[in-house]
Amino acid sequence: MEKKPTHWRLLTKIGVFFLGMVLVFCMLSMAATAIVVDRLFARIETASDPAAFSYAFVDASRYPRTSLRFLSGDNELQGYLYEPPDRSADALIVTISGYGGNADSHLPETLYFLDHGFAVFCFDGTGVCKSEGNSRRGLEQSRFDTSAALTYLQTTAWSSLPVLLYGHSAGGYAALALAKTDHVAAIVCIAGFDSPLALMRDAAADYVGPLSAIGYPFLRLQDRLLFGEEADNSAVTMLESATVPVLIVEGTEDMAVKEDNRIGSRIDGTNDRITLWTIDTPYRNGHATAWLSEEAAAYRWQDDPTDETPLDPLKANEIDPDFLARVAEFYRQAL
């Protein structure tokens, strides 16, 4: 039998070697991606906001809340139901926090809504505070938790009330993804984004630059393994056929969501049910400051990271009543 030329055998060995190296690289990259995602979305026992507001600051006699438990997948989540002081509500607002948030993240707005005739439901997502879950899984998980909350609410005494969604960041993405859900009458999305993976890619690029492109395919695969066909669905695509009023709120200096991933830059303007509200007021035009007063937003922005004095939660969470009045009016017009 004729032997292959020496150079062909050498080329074959080199090819096998490089294929092996590529396989090892892919396996290590996939493992590293899984580890990074797991750490990014590790379980949290408190909100990540250093000036987080909590129910401890609230007059519980004036604003009592009912503790509720409901299932999202295999995990039991913690929810809270607030009713207006006169116990008569025109609609039920479901607040949905963003990455690192919990049931109390939008409590300052909740108190405003209660004083203006709305009931409010909020919850700790999977892997957050008093809810079950070893991990928060990913940005898309908020969508599934919110869907589970809406399903649960339809089994309660408040099922007859129209549902209004109020979501921030990942919570805004979740709200838009559920635009066609029964009983949802209107949506307010603050600092939302079109693509969860694009948000994570852009965040990685801020740290490691062009190297982030190498890990992106593995990030996509990891996201697909976690969420299947629901992975990285476009919020704008899901919003296109929305038949309920939607208010999109975006800040001109949102450093967390790049402009090409913002909802406002991706909608075509043909759906007259969608309203875009761009905030350009200094300090209030960031990622998580739209609902704050100018004083509170400036207080947060001017915080010196080298100063170990903790921020005052009351001062840092003062609301802008004009902003919330417009939101409340938007909701009422939708009812």
Residue 298 within any structural domain of the chain: yes
Residue matched to tokens 């960031």: 286
282 and 321 assigned to the same domain: yes
Q: Is residue 119 part of a domain?
A: yes
Instruction: Determine the pLDDT at residue 22.
Output: 63
Is residue 230 predicted with pLDDT exceeding 90? no
Which residues span the domain enclosing 184? Answer: 54-195+234-334
Closest among 167, 161, 169 to 185, alpha carbons compared: 161
Q: Residue 211: pLDDT above 80? A: no
> Identity (one letter) of the amino acid at 93?
I
Domain co-membership, 209 together with 288: no
Helices in 47-128 by DSSP H: which ranges? 107-115
**Is residue 137 domain-shared with residue 244, that is, in the same domain?**
yes
pLDDT at 41: 86
- Mean pLDDT score of the chain, rounded to an integer? 88
| CB 71, CB 148: distance < 8 Å | yes
> Model confidence at 71, in pLDDT bands (50, 70, 90)?
very high
Q: What is the mean pLDDT of residues 207-218?
A: 70
Q: Are 197 and 235 in contact (CB under 8 A)?
A: no
Domain boundary (232, 254, 281) is at: 232
CA separation, residue 296 to residues 30, 131, 299, 303, 316 (Å):
42, 30, 5, 11, 5
pLDDT band of residue 269 (cuts 50, 70, 90) is confident
Residue type (1 letter), 221:
L
**Domain shared by 182 and 164, yes or no:** yes
pLDDT of residue 295: 95
Which pLDDT score, from 0 to 100, does residue 9 have? 67
Answer whether residue 1 is part of any domain. no
* 244/124 same-domain check: yes
- Does 83 lie in the same domain as 210? no
What CATH number does the domain containing 84 carry? 3.40.50.1820
Indicate the number of domains in the chain. Answer: 2
Six token digits for residue 127 = 């892997």
pLDDT exceeds cutoff 60 at 1 = no
> What pTM was computed for the model?
0.90
72 and 122 together in one domain? yes
In a domain, 3, yes or no: no
The encoded tokens of residue 81 equal 């139901």
Min mean pLDDT across 23-37, 141-155, 156-170, 184-198 is at: 23-37
Tokens of 159: 């099922």
Task: For residue range 46-61, list pLDDT tens digits in order.
Answer: 998 888 999 999 999 9
Task: Kindly report which listed range (80-84, 86-90, 159-163, 182-186) carries the lowest average pLDDT score.
Answer: 86-90
Considering the domain boundaries, does residue 45 fall inside one? no
Give the pLDDT band of residue 86 (cuts 50, 70, 90).
confident
What does the alpha-carbon distance between residue 170 and residue 87 come to, in Å, rounded to a whole number? Answer: 31
Within this chain, do residues 245 and 228 fall inside the same structural domain, yes or no? no
Choosing from 210, 232, 254, the residue where a domain stops is: 232
Q: Do residue 163 and residue 277 come from a single domain? A: yes
- Co-location of 146 and 209 in the same domain: no
Give per-residue pLDDT as tens, 4-18.
566 666 666 666 666
Number of Cβ atoms within 10 Å of the Cβ of 312:
12
Pair (96, 183) in one structural domain: yes
Residues 6+ apart with CB under 8 A from 201: 212, 216, 219
Model confidence at 207, in pLDDT bands (50, 70, 90)? low
Give the Cα separation of 275 and 278 in Å (integer): 10
**pLDDT > 70 fraction of the chain, expressed in percent and rounded:** 87
Burial 17-35 (b: 16+ CB within 10 A, else e): eeeeeeeeeeeebbeebbe
Please give the Cα distance from 55 to 246 (Å, whole number): 29
Find the mean pLDDT for residues 75-97: 93
Lowest mean pLDDT among 30-39, 123-132, 268-277, 297-306: 30-39
